[in-house]
Amino acid sequence: MHLPVLPTSRSTPLSHPAGPIHELHDAHGRVIRDLRISITDRCNFRCVYCMEPDVRFKRKIELLTDSEIVRTVRVARSLGVRRVRLTGGEPSIHPTLDALIRDIWAVGLDDLSMTSNGSVLNEGELAQLKDAGLQRLTVSLDSLRTDRFRALTRSAATPARVLETVEAAKRVGLEPVRINAVIVRGFNDDEIADLAALARVYDADVRLIEYMPLDSGRQWEMSKVVPIDEIVDRVHAVFPIEAAGRERTSSPATGFRFADGGPGRFGVIASVTRPFCGACSRLRITADGMVMPCLFSTDEYDLRAVLRDDRSTDGDIAGFLAAATLRKQAGHGIHDEGYRQPDRPMSAIGG
């Protein structure tokens, strides 16, 4: 079987590895243990660094069905994947989220988490998701100022509503709750210390993220990136912190704890200025069933076609995933002369 490619891809089709496949590994010695699956491309926000206001979503028939998602997870689990994160779009608006989580968790994972904008979930819904098998929740919150937050998200939502979701998630046991914030110079970099302080207020895991070139408007500039050293210095000036390392070797965040022993953790994801590509253990699948071996991949591989071929066995799916993983690039190459931003924005990749 050959590895299908999108018509716009520059890749050459690749046959899957010969012999039995026991795990997913790339050509650079990295083993895949984490799978990120976008379960919808739809979102109730139109964040300026992610999605243009006039974005057109995929038709339902173009998106993976729940059964196709669960089958993919089951095969990936047989190949050594231990952790799955559900993303979007906004996954909380998926119409059968409870049932999908229950079926995915039944596969036998070590961890099942979800990233959400936190604008529509309530405590009852979070409790149902917890009962279904969801272990952890990450919410995105890029500003604590209502006017700025609404300008960023192009919505009527508020930071207070997102923080209500954080509190509710903690009450139902979706711990540790994580709060992610993308820092953009000239927009919200004056809130760095305030955003980090949320870790102390909510006993949460706050992660400040360098602005990456994944915006649909192609407005990214290096001058808008606030590097990790500056972020850490600004937090340290208000709340003295000390290095806490990484949770796992493959964790994307450089971690810190508060020197006074205060609650919560703080970390920085420095994809631009301090890449962690060498320890990456992730594979991504978009809502329309394309495998992206790297967040910055410009080539993607059509898993949906394999899943919808009545002749495809689980072994064929395993071979396809293995072949796509072998094409995982060594690094994102943002600083290379020939760097080309992915055709998909973050909202269509799943983060």
Domain 34-349 CATH assignment equals 3.20.20.70: yes
Q: What's residue 16's pLDDT?
A: 59
Q: What is the pTM of this model?
A: 0.91
Q: pLDDT of 51-107, one tens digit each?
A: 778 888 999 999 999 999 999 999 999 999 999 999 999 999 999 999 999 999 999
Query: Residue 215 has what pLDDT?
Result: 60
pLDDT score for 50: 78
Residue 12 has what pLDDT? Answer: 42
- For residue 70, the tally of other CB atoms under 10 A from its CB is 18
Q: Rounded to a whole number, what is the distance in angstroms from the first to the last CA of the chain?
A: 29
- Structure confidence at residue 115 (pLDDT): 97
Q: Are 167 and 202 in contact (CB under 8 A)?
A: yes
pLDDT at residue number 3:
46
Both tokens of 205, joined, read 């895991």
Q: Where are the domains of the chain?
A: 34-349
> What pLDDT is recorded for position 1?
42
Contacts of 46 (CB under 8 A, 6+ apart): 52, 53, 55, 153, 154, 155
Amino acid making up residue 309: D
Average pLDDT along the chain, 351 residues, taken 10 residues at a time: 43 55 92 97 87 86 98 98 96 97 98 97 98 98 96 94 98 97 94 98 96 69 91 96 78 91 94 86 96 88 98 97 94 72 72 61
Task: Tell me the C-alpha distance between 23 and 249, whole Å.
Answer: 18
Spatial separation of the C-alpha atoms in residues 73 and 84, rounded to whole Å: 8
Burial string for 123-149 (b: 16+ CB within 10 Å, else e) reads: eebbbebbebbbbbbbbbbbbbeeebb
pLDDT of residue 94: 97
Please report the pLDDT score of residue 218 as a whole number.
63
